[in-house]
């Protein structure tokens, strides 16, 4: 049980991260940043003028989940579909720079590679510009994608599979159904970070991680962060209807909600110095999946994932969690509160 977690057990969990091969399936994108300073307002409109100092491209979406797995010490295998365009070349170069395989990337002439540009002036996120399409992939692309994923699974059984859904059309009901079925036959744990369109498609996954907005939209109800009873009712319904083993609901500054084995707990946020919430959900699903594959009990999984999400919120931009820092902060957390009774029943 979590109440008896020791430094030795924490070390065992983190040590296992480095021996993991984890497949990530979902929508990928380029997160582009324009960094600058603001020292005047435009005479053309009441908007700040950003004098650009630096530009940077980063891996985003499901690729950021892969970065988090890599940062934890694991080996990610990213599976997605990009367009056959100039932005695809940028994306593939970013993969190579990070030492990640592009074997799972299907390139299609009928797709568009997603680019999200964030404009940050004087450390404030001022604007985001999205270049994308979110049409559902056609049957031919779906079959190609399923075949590619199955082939990669057969070449080397992963320790876990993550569905990272950004609702851009790569994850179809067919892709989700067929890969969950394949994983089930091979006893591979499956986790999912859902969006509205496919919310009810992730039947029989081991771990389901919506945020509060996604849970409310998926259940067609209204929920607030302070309504723990309402969250509990919605969580129980979706868990039972989809036959989900563990349900995690991220609640931003309120923390993380866990439901398993008929029990529900709310773990308050441990890190409150919030600079940017971008990518926090990617970090939570990555760490939760790694903990699940490492054999951590569900409460320890929730606590470490919650801590990881808080840590990346303290940094500007979409960045992965750092394994060393997470290990250190986890040890400190359990030392401060060894019984972890801050969880609300």
User: Would you state the structure tokens that stand for residue 209, as one six-digit string?
Assistant: 């991680």
Residue 129 φ/ψ, nearest 5 degrees: -120, 120
Residue 28 and residue 57 in contact, taking contact as beta carbons nearer than 8 Å: no
Q: How many residues does the chain have?
A: 345
State how far the Cα of 188 lies from the Cα of 185, in Å rounded to an integer. 8
The secondary structure element, H or E, covering residue 56 is strand 48-61
The secondary structure of 95-145 as a DSSP string is HHHTT---TTEEEETT---EEEEEEEETTEEEEEEEE---PPPPHHHHHHH
Catalytic residue among 147, 165, 282, 297: 282
> Which of 85, 80, 248 has its CA nearest to residue 168?
80
Residue 190 and residue 183 in contact, taking contact as beta carbons nearer than 8 Å: yes
State how far the Cα of 180 lies from the Cα of 197, in Å rounded to an integer. 17
Is 282 labeled as catalytic in the residue annotation? yes
The catalytic site residues sit at 282
């Amino acid at each position: 049980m979590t109440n008896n977690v020791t430094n030795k057990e924490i070390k065992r969990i983190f040590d296992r991260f480095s021996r993991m091969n984890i497949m990530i399936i979902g929508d990928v994108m380029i997160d582009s940043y324009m960094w600058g300073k603001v020292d005047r307002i435009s005479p053309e409109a009441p908007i700040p003028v950003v004098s650009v100092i630096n530009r940077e491209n980063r891996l985003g979406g499901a690729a950021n989940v892969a970065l988090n797995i890599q940062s934890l010490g694991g080996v990610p295998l990213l599976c997605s579909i990009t367009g056959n365009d100039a932005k695809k070349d940028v994306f593939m170069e970013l993969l190579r720079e990070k030492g990640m395989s592009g074997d799972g990337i299907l390139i299609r002439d009928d797709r568009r590679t997603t680019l999200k540009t964030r404009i940050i002036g004087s450390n404030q996120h001022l604007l985001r510009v999205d270049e994308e399409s979110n049409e559902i992939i056609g049957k031919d692309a779906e079959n190609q994608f399923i075949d590619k994923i199955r082939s990669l699974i057969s070449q080397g059984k992963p320790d876990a599979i993550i569905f990272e859904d950004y609702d851009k059309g790569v994850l179809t009901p067919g892709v989700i159904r067929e890969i969950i079925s394949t994983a089930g036959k091979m006893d591979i744990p499956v986790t999912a970070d859902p969006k509205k369109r496919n919310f009810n498609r992730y039947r029989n996954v081991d771990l389901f991680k919506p945020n509060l907005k996604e849970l409310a939209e998926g259940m067609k109800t209204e929920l607030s962060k302070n309504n723990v009873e309402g969250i509990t009712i919605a969580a129980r319904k979706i868990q039972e209807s989809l036959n989900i083993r563990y349900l995690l609901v991220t609640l931003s500054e309120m923390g993380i909600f866990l439901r398993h084995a008929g029990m529900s707990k709310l773990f308050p946020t441990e890190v409150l110095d919030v600079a940017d919430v971008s990518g926090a959900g990617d970090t939570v699903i990555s760490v939760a999946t790694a903990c699940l594959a490492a054999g951590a009990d569900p409460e320890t999984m929730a606590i470490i994932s919650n801590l990881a999400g808080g840590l990346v919120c303290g940094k500007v931009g979409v960045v992965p969690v750092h394994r060393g820092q997470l290990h250190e902060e986890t040890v400190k957390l359990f030392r401060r509160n060894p019984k972890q009774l801050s969880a609300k029943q």
